């Protein structure tokens, strides 16, 4: 379902998923991994923001389903919050990449000492006098770069990339869920509108029948009770219309909420028609597609992989680290013109010898988190299986209901015609006419609601199998 207006710079969802699939294949390529994925993620976010920027204009008149979905993707606050979450994860990936790069700092210091300090030591082969001061100003350029950290920084980059990818895939699935929720309410409103039309049609037909009953009563061919029963039935139809209209208004307000529209003084109205498309739905085929396409499943798998990297990070806390360090600066005595340039280059070796068992405890903790993540993945697999089975069953059941009620409508129309003609010639009772009219109305109501549920079941199946919409 194409729900977005054409824009020259838009990247479709399939392209964005491909981008992240390619990025995922490069997660073992070293230092450039984080930079590559971060750039791809930033580009995808930019394209997504361009395609679905917020629109605050009021909705005028009835809207179609594609228009409703487009507005919801641009304005829904939960979706916007998740987009910020993806952006935050991308920033964390940049932070992890930056930790592997050299760090250059400028440091300045002014100190007052109780005892004078040496400014410039005597170098070999020179006999210049030593200089001391108790007021010292210093400035240094400092370079620091990791050479070996036991894999900690590299695994942090990969983990940050996986978390960013998981957030993005979760955003895509939330987008699909929102489209389903909008479609579900939209189809329900179309069905509700047809129910109200059926009530209006029944009311008009019954008003015409009341006129005939009045004519028969004036001609002394009908009883007063027949007219009273007809009027009671008309009053019942009026209150049914009020109830169904109220339900339609509530659905309109719900749709406005899903679209992220506030301050609406009236419920949204929709335009469109319910259709009866034939969609083959097979459980086994649906499950195969679902496990290959579901974005929430891919998101959770990325989280499991990220947790595996977290274990490696925890283990690296007990390994030695090797750092390059260099600095260049000057020292000035503020109470004289004496100064001294200083500089150094060196390798720093830092090895933990005893950390109170914290490393082993941290590794054990992360292993437990990994086991929990795998169980959550298994739970989602069972949930996906149930959703596909349920959606498939709902499609078959609602389609059978639509077929059955459609045939019943034809029979109810014929029954009402026969009972009306019998009453007009004085061979039938008003109760039979009213019962036939009520049966027709109930059958029409069941039909339109079953048709709305069938369209909703199709949308539910698309979500269950992870179909790109």
Would residue 217 count as lying in a domain? yes
Would you call 61 exposed, middle or buried from its count of C-beta atoms within 10 A (0-12, 13-18, 19+)?
exposed
The residue among 354, 379, 413 that closes a domain is 354
The answer to whether residue 328 sits within a structural domain is yes
Same domain assignment for residues 73 and 135: no
Q: How far apart are CA 199 and CA 205, in angstroms?
A: 10
The DSSP code sequence of 413-458 is: HHHHHHHHHHHHTTSS-HHHHHHHHHHHHHHHHHHHHHHHHHHHHH
Q: Quick check: helix, strand or coil at residue 130?
A: coil
First to last CA, the chain: 5
- CA–chain centroid gap for 204, Å, is 46
- Which has more confidence, 306 or 219? 306
Name 55's Cβ contacts closer than 8 Å, sequence gap at least 6.
71, 74, 75
- One domain for residues 347 and 442: no
Clarify whether residues 327 and 371 are in a common domain: no
Range of the domain at 323: 102-148+319-354
| Continuous segment of H or E residues that includes residue 341 | strand 339-350
At 61, which CATH number? 1.20.1600.10
* Residue entry with tokens 């998740």: 82
Mean pLDDT of the region 72-93:
93
pLDDT of 282 higher than 90: no
Q: Which among 107-116, 215-224, 368-377 has the top mean pLDDT?
A: 368-377
Beta-carbon-side half-sphere exposure of residue 309 (alpha carbons within 13 Å): 21
- List, for residues 361-411, the tens digit of each pLDDT value: 999 999 999 999 999 999 999 999 999 999 999 999 999 999 999 889 989
> How far lies 54's CA from each of 9, 50, 65, 311, in Å?
16, 9, 18, 40
Q: Is the pLDDT of residue 42 over 60?
A: no
pLDDT digits (tens, 9 = 90+) for 296-330: 999 999 999 999 999 999 999 999 999 999 999 98
Note whether 155 and 316 are within 8 A (CB): yes
Percent of the chain with pLDDT over 90: 54
Please give the tally of structural domains in the chain: 2
pLDDT beyond 90 at 155: yes
CB environment 199-218: b (16+ within 10 A), e (fewer): beebbebbeebbeebeebee
Do 301 and 206 belong to one domain? Answer: yes
Residues 167 and 133 in one domain: no
**Per-residue pLDDT for 138 more than 60?**
yes
pLDDT in the model for residue 1:
40
Residue 199 within any structural domain of the chain: yes
**Burial of 380 (C-beta count, 10 Å sphere; 0-12/13-18/19+):** middle
Note the pLDDT of residue 127: 62
């Amino acid at each position: 379902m194409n729900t977005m207006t054409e824009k020259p710079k838009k990247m479709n969802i399939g392209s964005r998923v491909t981008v992240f699939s390619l990025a995922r294949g490069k997660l073992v390529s070293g230092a450039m991994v984080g930079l590559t994925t971060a750039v791809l993620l930033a580009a995808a976010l930019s394209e997504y923001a361009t395609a679905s920027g917020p629109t605050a204009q009021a909705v005028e008149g009835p809207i179609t389903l594609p228009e409703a979905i487009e507005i919801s993707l641009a304005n829904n606050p939960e979706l916007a919050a998740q987009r910020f979450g993806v952006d935050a994860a991308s920033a964390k990936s940049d932070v992890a990449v930056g930790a592997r790069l050299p760090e250059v700092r400028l440091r300045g210091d002014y100190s007052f000492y109780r005892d004078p300090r040496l400014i410039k030591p005597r170098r070999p082969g020179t006999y210049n006098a030593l200089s001391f001061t108790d007021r010292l100003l210093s400035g240094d350029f400092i370079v620091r770069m990791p050479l070996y950290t036991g894999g900690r920084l590299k695994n942090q980059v990969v983990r940050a990339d996986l978390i960013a990818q998981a957030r993005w895939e979760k955003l895509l699935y939330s987008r699909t869920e929102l489209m389903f929720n909008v479609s579900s309410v939209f189809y329900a409103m179309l069905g509700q509108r047809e129910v109200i039309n059926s009530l209006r049609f029944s009311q008009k037909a019954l008003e015409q029948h009341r006129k005939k009953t009045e004519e028969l009563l004036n001609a002394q061919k009908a009883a007063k009770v027949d007219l009273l029963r007809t009027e009671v039935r008309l009053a019942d139809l009026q209150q049914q219309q009020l109830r169904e209209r109220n339900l339609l208004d509530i659905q309109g307000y719900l749709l406005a909420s899903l679209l992220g529209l506030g301050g609406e003084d009236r419920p949204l109205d929709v335009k469109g028609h319910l259709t009866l498309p034939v969609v083959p739905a097979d459980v086994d085929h649906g499950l195969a597609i679902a496990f290959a396409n579901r974005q929430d499943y891919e998101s959770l798998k990325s989280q499991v992989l990220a947790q595996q990297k977290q274990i490696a990070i925890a283990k690296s806390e007990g390994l030695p680290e090797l750092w390059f360090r260099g600095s260049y600066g000057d020292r000035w005595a503020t109470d004289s013109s004496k100064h001294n340039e200083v500089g150094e280059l060196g390798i720093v070796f830092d090895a933990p010898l005893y950390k109170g068992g914290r490393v082993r405890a941290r590794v054990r903790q992360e292993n437990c988190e990994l086991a929990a993540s795998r169980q959550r993945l298994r739970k989602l697999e069972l949930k996906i299986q149930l959703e596909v089975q349920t959606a498939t069953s709902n499609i078959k059941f609602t389609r059978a209901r639509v077929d059955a009620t459609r045939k019943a409508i034809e029979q109810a129309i014929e029954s009402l015609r026969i009972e009306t003609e019998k009453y007009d010639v004085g061979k039938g009772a008003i109760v039979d006419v009213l019962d036939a009219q009520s049966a027709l109305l109930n059958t029409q109501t069941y039909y339109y609601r079953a048709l709305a549920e069938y369209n909703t079941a199709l949308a539910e199946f698309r979500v269950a199998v992870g179909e790109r919409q």
